[in-house]
A and B are shown apart, each in its own frame.
Chain A
Amino acid sequence: MLAQQLINGLSVGGIYALLSTGYALIYSLLGFSNWAHGEVAMLGAYIAVMSVIAAKLPFVASLALALAGAALISLVNEKFFYRHIRNNNSPTMFLMIAAMGLSTTYKNLIVVLVGPKFKYFPQILPFESFEFCGINVGVLDIFSIVVSLAAIVLLDVLIYHTKFGLGIRGCASDSVTAELLGVNVNRYILIVFLLAGGLAGCAGVLLGMKYTVYPSLGNVALKAFIASVFGGLGSIRGAILGAFMIGILETLVSAYVSSGLRDLFTFGLLIAILLIRPEGLLGKSVEQKS
């Protein structure tokens, strides 16, 4: 029973991590919470489900299409909205409000274009579950864990072990200085939006397969946002840790306490963390001397 819940928790946590790392990346560069991030995931899920149901594409092709589509939408958000607001030297709050506006627009656009009804992925994996050492393991959970872990490991390597990642972390630390040292900051921001969008699209598809696809699917990103606050806003590894913690906590509470109290525990833990360690679990408060 416990092992089964842990697998479930890891699978939910992995999906949260795909989203929370995107929040963390964008927050670390631009200092605002991208409230349209969940809707990027939702749109990714729609692209996949519609291309499977309506266009009869094979699943792998629809997944690739969803990742590309979500990355592109995320790029559009940056290039046509956020960038102009930044260039106007507007306060960061304006970015957040714009993101909220985009979030609402996308949700309603889907209602208008596709309709408010739930969409289901057809059975894609060969079977639903199998017995392993006496526990019943969901194939979809394993699939989701493998996909999200692979994406997260790749992201971690990219950010912490490549020159490209050094550039991103440089921009995150101080974009003016990074620019002086030769980093094309605006280009890096665009690439980060592409990356975050792709990850969100992947999360959207996994969520859609696990549950269903509907216009307010993106609301689940709130949990991922909490995960990134949890781990330390702007810290990629913190966001990953926070996501898995929340995923596991939620499934354990649902299984052993009550699924109705799940959110109470999550938000309660958030408040506790903010009171005890406001910089988050892995958040750093290294300040520059002047």
Chain B
Amino acid sequence: MLSVTDVHVSYGGIRALRGATLHVKPGEIVAVLGANGAGKTTLLKAISGMVPCTGEILFKGAKRPSSTYRLAGCGLCHVPEGRRILANLTVLENLQLGAFSRTDKRGVAEDLERVLTLFPRLRERLGQYGGLLSGGEQQMLAISRGLMGRPDLLMLDEPSLGLAPIIVKQIFDIIREISSFGTAILLVEQNAFKALSICGRAYILSVGEIVKTGAREELLDNQTLIQGYLG
């Protein structure tokens, strides 16, 4: 599905990502874990073409398009850090914009119904401005908006950021549910235990390099590793 090989990103003189290599197979949940500043968000931005990078990024076996706006149409949705809800558009308009590159009206209507069933809270708020939602509702909207593109791969950047534990639990349950429909998920998280509770495999990123990768159980057993890199 996604294959990233030896990707480097520099901001000015600072090398934020030094040779990251990873892959995501269809239908799996893969987590990228790491402390603040490890390069997690940069990795997703490189995949989406939001920052210039070197290396090879293949999506569904082909080079991913160089323009960011074409990605959604290819089936790659990136739910950015901090949710980035369009504050002065309504909840419904935010969702419609999520389906912007699609032309199948009926499919879009089905998907709208599907995300509103996943997140009933949003249904009550369809006509409200996105900026007026609570943090948890905004995260739900951001994920739903990503799903409206009917992605084959959904990239989530810190969905737990700034949310109460009970909301985090709800969101992670739903991420698992989304994956059960067959959507592959690349999850970037600081909350390592939470992420390891739902993912199949994980990569650990530290100061711009992938230092460890393995199946969920393998990483969970390795307490020293988790404490060392993730705190």
Answer yes or no: do A and B interact: yes
A-B contact pairs, 17 of them (CB 8 A): A163-B100, A166-B89, A166-B93, A169-B86, A169-B93, A170-B93, A174-B86, A178-B97, A180-B80, A181-B97, A181-B101, A288-B84, A288-B85, A288-B131, A289-B133, A289-B134, A290-B162
Cα(A177)–Cα(B72), bound, Å? 11
- Range, interface on chain B: 35 or more
Query: Are B100's CB and A182's CB within 8 A?
Result: yes
Q: A284: which of B88, B101, B133, B135 is its contact (CB, 8 Å)?
A: B88
Cα(A176)–Cα(B50), bound, Å? 9
Residues of A bordering B, CB below 8 Å: 163, 166-167, 169-170, 173-174, 176-185, 284, 286-290
Give how many A-B residue pairs fall within 8 Å (CB-CB): 90
Cα(A289)–Cα(B72), bound, Å? 25
Across-interface contacts of B86 in A (CB, < 8 A)? 169-170, 173-174, 177-178
**Which residue of the partner chain B has the closest CB to A288?**
B87
CB contact under 8 A between A286 and B88, given known A170-B100, A181-B97, A182-B101: yes
**Which residue of the partner chain A has the closest CB to B101?**
A182
Q: B131: which of A169, A178, A179, A286 is its contact (CB, 8 Å)?
A: A286
Q: Which one of A166, A169, A182 has the highest number of Cβ atoms from chain B below 10 Å of its Cβ? A: A182
Q: B48: which of A173, A180, A287, A288 is its contact (CB, 8 Å)?
A: A180
Across-interface contacts of A166 in B (CB, < 8 A)? 89, 93, 96-97, 100
Q: B69: which of A174, A184, A290 is its contact (CB, 8 Å)?
A: A184
Query: Are B131's CB and A181's CB within 8 A?
Result: no
Cα(A176)–Cα(B133), bound, Å? 20
Contacts beyond the supplied A180-B71, A181-B97, A288-B84: 15 A-B pairs with Cβ under 8 Å: A163-B96, A166-B93, A174-B87, A178-B97, A180-B80, A181-B145, A181-B149, A182-B71, A182-B72, A182-B73, A183-B100, A286-B129, A286-B132, A288-B83, A288-B87
Residues of B bordering A, CB below 8 Å: 48, 50, 67-73, 77-78, 80, 82-89, 93, 96-98, 100-101, 129-135, 138, 145, 149, 162
**Which residue of the partner chain A has the closest CB to B100?**
A182
Least distance between B208 CB and chain A CB atoms (Å): 22
CB contact under 8 A between A170 and B131, given known A179-B69, A182-B100: no
Query: Are B131's CB and A289's CB within 8 A?
Result: yes
**Which residue of the partner chain A has the closest CB to B68?**
A179
Least distance between A286 CB and chain B CB atoms (Å): 4
Across-interface contacts of B48 in A (CB, < 8 A)? 180
Cα(A179)–Cα(B77), bound, Å? 11
Cα(A286)–Cα(B128), bound, Å? 11
Cα(A290)–Cα(B82), bound, Å? 6
Q: Which one of A184, A185, A289 has the highest number of Cβ atoms from chain B below 10 Å of its Cβ? A: A289
Q: Which 9 A-B pairs have the closest CB atoms?
A: A182-B101, A182-B72, A286-B131, A173-B86, A182-B100, A177-B84, A288-B87, A286-B87, A184-B69
Cα(A232)–Cα(B101), bound, Å? 30
Least distance between A266 CB and chain B CB atoms (Å): 28
Query: Are A185's CB and B69's CB within 8 A?
Result: yes
Cα(A169)–Cα(B129), bound, Å? 13
Cα(A288)–Cα(B93), bound, Å? 16
Across-interface contacts of A179 in B (CB, < 8 A)? 68-69
Across-interface contacts of A170 in B (CB, < 8 A)? 86, 89, 93, 97, 100
